[in-house]
Amino acid sequence: MNRKLNSGAAWNTVKNIVSVFSAVYATAVKYLYVRANPVRFVEMPSEPGRFQLELPKDDELQRLQNALEEPYRTMVWLARATEVRHSELLGLRWKSIDWEHQCLWIREAVHEGEIDSPKTQRSCRPVRLARAELAKLKQFQALSPQDKIRELGSNLARW
């Protein structure tokens, strides 16, 4: 295990190798080929800390938004405001917005250019929107010709 880690193998890879060997030895114990599972006593070292990416600052994000044309400007803004996955953002439709309850329903996502369900069952969820955010979406909807932009995420799906 240490040799594998020192050779540059990822911690998860080594953990998976240990798991497979443990399962093999557990089966060998079950069928009385060996008396004990020696892998049960292997102690994995602590998982190394992961490199934390530095998030862009607010002014950098604002500059990005200002440099973009519509509908991309609104999509970047909406991604910032809601923190939804990019696949969920691409799957948004105007009917996803519940204007009455002030939320955005995540029900679909785009994977490999196709509309699909979100990543997990728990990903199907409402995302609360402030009144100002709803007003901005209303304004975007009014400015967007329906024949050009039928769905909120349609243009980005092709991007």
Within a domain: 6 = yes
Instruction: Say yes or no: 148 and 91 in one domain.
Output: yes
Mean pLDDT computed over 131-152: 76
Out of 49-53, 64-68, 73-77, 98-102, least confident range: 49-53
Residue 16 pLDDT: 95
Within a domain: 24 = yes
How many other CB atoms are found less than 10 A from the CB of residue 28? 14
Q: Is the pLDDT of residue 122 over 60?
A: yes
Within a domain: 52 = no
> What residues make up the domain containing 37?
2-41
Within a domain: 49 = no
Closest CA to 43 of 77, 71, 5: 5
Mean pLDDT computed over 60-79: 91
Number of compact structural domains in the chain? 2
Mean pLDDT of the chain: 87
Mean pLDDT computed over 85-95: 91
Cis ω on the peptide bond leading into residue 45 (within 30° of 0)? no
Residue 1 pLDDT: 85
Within a domain: 112 = yes
Strand partners, 128: 103
Distance CA 42, CA 39 (A): 5
Q: Is the pLDDT of residue 139 over 70?
A: yes
Within a domain: 46 = no
Instruction: Say yes or no: 150 and 78 in one domain.
Output: yes
Report the sign of the C-alpha dihedral through residues 61, 66, 69, 73, in that order. positive
Percentage of the chain modeled with pLDDT above 90: 57
CA atoms within 13 A on the CB side of 66: 6
Q: Give the three-class secondary structure for 141.
A: helix
Instruction: Say yes or no: 81 and 147 in one domain.
Output: yes
Instruction: Say yes or no: 17 and 68 in one domain.
Output: no
Give residue 112's region: left, alpha or beta (phi > 0; psi -120 to 50): left
**Counts for the chain of helices (H) and strands (E), in that order:** 7, 5
Q: What is the pLDDT of residues 49-58, one digit of tens each?
A: 877 888 889 8
Instruction: Say yes or no: 79 and 117 in one domain.
Output: yes
Instruction: Say yes or no: 77 and 120 in one domain.
Output: yes
- Angle of helix 131-143 relative to helix 72-82, nearest 10 degrees? 160
Q: How confident is the model at residue 147 (pLDDT cuts 50, 70, 90)?
A: very low
Instruction: Give pTM, 2 decimals.
Output: 0.59
Within a domain: 48 = no
